[in-house]
Amino acid sequence: MNLNGYNKWTQKDRVTGFEKFAYGCGEISTNIVFTIATSLLVMFYTDVAHVSPSVIGMIIAISQVFNGVSDITAGFIVDRTRSKYGRARVWMLRMSIPYAVAAVLLMTVPQIAPMAQAVYIFITYNLMLTVVYTLFQLPFATTMTYMTRSQDERAKINIVRMAMSPVGNILVTLLFTRILGMMPGGGMDSQRNWVVLTAIYAVFAAAMMLFCFASVRERVVVKDDMAGEKIPLKKAIPALFKNKYFVMLFLFFVFFAMYQTFSGTMATYYCKWIVGDTNIIGNVNTACYGITIIATLLLGKVMDFTTKKNWCMLGALFIIGGSLILLLNPTSIALVTFGGLLRGIGMTPILGMIFTMIADCIEYGQWKTGLRTAGAIQSAVTSGQKFGQGIGSALIGFIMEANTYSGNASAQSAQALSTISNLFIYGIAVLGVIMIFILCFYHLDKEYPKVMKELLEREAKIELKEDK
């Protein structure tokens, strides 16, 4: 069996345009809460709930230990799930209501004793991001690997997904703070307003999730050495770590998520304290995420010009340039907005390619070990994303606290202002350099045809045995 035969065999796995759109709606759902958590939550804790930045940093850092474990656990749960709705998509149904409730609880921080308040934040933060978000986002991402095994179809699905992905970001970054500012009873300073608005966003996100669940289908029938049986942990875990490309993508996601956190969170502080205008936060983020919609659609036309690895490296270069350009004039609204535009262009090939790279990694793992641990690989890689988010948020909290930042102050010290500027400019640039370095060791794009040829030959033999 060769790849031409495989492509003919997978004609039955073609995914409709409507289904691709529905899957993109699931991405909107995940990004609404993710953007609130990465771009606004830290500022809410420090400037509205008036919690110490170092306390928030410590809570988030500790939470990532639980978050990493939950991701791995969720991956194994998906691999062992059997239901009439499939292995992965059923979790969208199960998590829809908890998703909305947990998002609202994030903002209902009571004004109680500091220790009790910290405990509440720890519990609700982990309920949302460690438990509920994990049990939705990870099965959602894994669903694509069960929709089809065709590389072309996966690439098309992901292009639509990533073209729609910024919608969730824009809905939050462009509108959230503006709506808060127009709400009565204190605007952005009112915790009640944060709770009400988050509830509206959360219900919408849950609705998008349910629409995705109802509209997508799982088509892939697994043919591996376990013959469809549930994979025991004693076999799944060693198989995971025998996959070298899993390790690379895990590390890449750590630093990419750190970049997203630095970019989102520090943009908010930068616009407020360096530029002096919170209203341009939405402009900057809209430039960053809005351009990705157009750029992602264009990427679908030129993606075959070079490898997925090279596209991601090019994206990291744009991210670096979008940060360092602020050195020309740190307070220029035009340059801040243009920098966001460049970072958005940079994110486009990364987001457009990285999830198909994970799917390729799953096939490589099955070829390498004889076991298809799609959920475990997906969870472990995306746990890197959450781990990076946590490290990024913790670093921001610790560094800003150490450099005299105060959420209660009407003005910040020169040291605090310098720290905000350095984190937003140099911090992001360094993370971009690290991402490029990791990708230098990724060679699966070249190896994939051979991997798939041998894997399909094995599966053909398994099918013959089953027929007998």
For the chain, domains (ranges, CATH) are: 17-463 (1.20.1250.20)
206: confidence class by pLDDT, cuts 50, 70, 90? very high
What pLDDT, on a 0 to 100 scale, did the predictor assign at position 137? 83
Compare 404 and 463 and report the one with higher pLDDT.
404
Record the tokens describing residue 44, joined without a space.
């809410």
Would you say residue 382 has pLDDT above 90?
A: no
Interatomic CA distance for residues 353 and 310, integer angstroms: 10
227: confidence class by pLDDT, cuts 50, 70, 90? very low
Record the tokens describing residue 291, joined without a space.
């351009």
Interatomic CA distance for residues 456 and 150, integer angstroms: 12
DSSP string across 350-361: HHHHHHHHHHHH
What pLDDT, on a 0 to 100 scale, did the predictor assign at position 1? 37
Would you say residue 429 has pLDDT above 90?
A: yes
What pLDDT, on a 0 to 100 scale, did the predictor assign at position 2? 45
Phi first, then psi, for residue 446 (nearest 5°) are -75, -30
Interatomic CA distance for residues 419 and 410, integer angstroms: 17
Interatomic CA distance for residues 74 and 69, integer angstroms: 9
- Tokens 């629409």 correspond to what residue? 211
Would you call 82 helix, strand, or coil by DSSP? coil
Would you say residue 284 has pLDDT above 80?
A: no
* Residue closest to 295 by CA, chosen among 353, 356, 249: 353
180: confidence class by pLDDT, cuts 50, 70, 90? confident
Record the tokens describing residue 189, joined without a space.
């300073």
User: Averaging pLDDT over each range in 37-51, 194-208, 451-465, which range is the top one?
Assistant: 194-208
| pLDDT (mean) for 233-259 | 83
What pLDDT, on a 0 to 100 scale, did the predictor assign at position 76? 73
Would you say residue 21 has pLDDT above 70?
A: yes
HSE-CB for 198 with a 13 A CA cutoff: 25
What pLDDT, on a 0 to 100 scale, did the predictor assign at position 33? 82
166: confidence class by pLDDT, cuts 50, 70, 90? confident
| pLDDT (mean) for 386-395 | 80
**pTM listed for this prediction:** 0.69
Q: Write the single-letter amino acid at 367.
A: W
| pLDDT (mean) for 184-209 | 88
The mean pLDDT of the chain is 82
| pLDDT (mean) for 83-88 | 78
404: confidence class by pLDDT, cuts 50, 70, 90? confident
HSE-CB for 257 with a 13 A CA cutoff: 26
